[in-house]
Amino acid sequence: MTVAVETGLWQLDPTASAVAVGHKTFWGLVTVKGTFAAVAGRGEVAADGSATGTVTLDAASLDTGNAKRDTHLRSADFFDADHHPEVTFAVRGAELRAGDTAHVTGQLTVRGISRPQTLTARLTGVAADALTLETEFTVDRDQFGMEWNQLGMMRGLTTVTATLRFTRAEV
């Protein structure tokens, strides 16, 4: 299936979007999962089909279902949400590839530290007024100053899973 996305401005629909993280802890025996309750974003599709935009997460909105753990994740050991309230992914370019996939390049910023990030997204729904993207990629939290690792409990990469629904923005 080859898809075409309408040019113009697109606004993220936070009620139909979700961003989740998962990280193996306790020496790989348990996976801690959480979701960001506050997600925002917008993008623009150019006439040549390329796209740019930004997705923003409220770092303090991460919910793992455990209040004590969530407070620790918001602390300076991890997201440092008091000083760095947002996690952002700035899309520098997105190109549709064969079928329903898009190659996305951008800049991920966590705790004020920016790193390049490349990922593959899949278009799971496209209409004239809405589109949905799904992606899963990994992040090395150490690259963003999240080095807390008491007794070696937290090794490896963090998996980020996102379903992002965009609607045509009112001009």
Q: Class of the 8-168 domain?
A: mainly beta
- Write down the pLDDT at residue 152: 45
Q: How far apart are CA 147 and CA 141, in angstroms?
A: 7
- Write down the pLDDT at residue 100: 87
Q: How far apart are CA 26 and CA 155, in angstroms?
A: 9
Average pLDDT, whole number, for the chain?
A: 88
- Write down the pLDDT at residue 5: 75
Q: How far apart are CA 37 and CA 66, in angstroms?
A: 14
Q: How far apart are CA 54 and CA 46, in angstroms?
A: 15
Which percentage of the chain shows pLDDT scores above 70? 89
End-to-end Cα spacing for the chain: 30
Query: Is 144 or 150 the better-scoring residue by pLDDT?
Result: 144
pLDDT-derived band at 60, boundaries 50, 70, 90 = very high
- Say what the pTM is: 0.87
- Write down the pLDDT at residue 150: 52
What is the residue extent of each domain of the chain? 8-168
pLDDT-derived band at 2, boundaries 50, 70, 90 = very low
State the average pLDDT over residues 119-140. 92
At 133 the three-state DSSP class reads strand
pLDDT digits (tens, 9 = 90+) for 3-26: 567 889 999 999 999 999 998 775
Residue 134 has pLDDT above 70, yes or no: yes
pLDDT digits (tens, 9 = 90+) for 28-52: 577 889 999 999 999 998 888 788 9
- Write down the pLDDT at residue 1: 37
- What would the two tokens of residue 31 be? 């996976």
Neighbours of 29 (CB within 10 A): 8
- Write down the pLDDT at residue 95: 84
* Residue 164 to residues 111, 136, 137, Cα–Cα distance (Å): 22, 12, 14
